[in-house]
């Protein structure tokens, strides 16, 4: 269980770093929102 949480944190970190390094382009943000929209129903 803790391992899953840790993985989630690492992925979050990578995503936020990607957004910060590319904050001029909104593409990364839309990409992440798309992933969330696609995967959220499967998690619920």
Q: CA 30, CA 44: separation in Å to the nearest integer?
A: 21
- Calculate the average pLDDT of the chain: 69
Element (H, E) at 22: none
18-38 pLDDT, tens digit each: 766 655 555 666 776 777 777
Question: Alpha carbon of 40 to those of 12, 23, 32: distances in Å?
Answer: 15, 24, 12
12 with 22: CB under 8 angstroms? no
> Is the whole-model pTM more than 0.75?
no
1 with 10: CB under 8 angstroms? no
């Amino acid at each position: 269980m803790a391992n899953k949480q840790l993985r989630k944190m690492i992925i979050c970190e990578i995503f936020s770093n990607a957004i910060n390094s590319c904050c001029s382009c909104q593409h990364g943000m839309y990409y992440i929102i798309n992933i969330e929209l696609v995967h959220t129903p499967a998690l619920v």
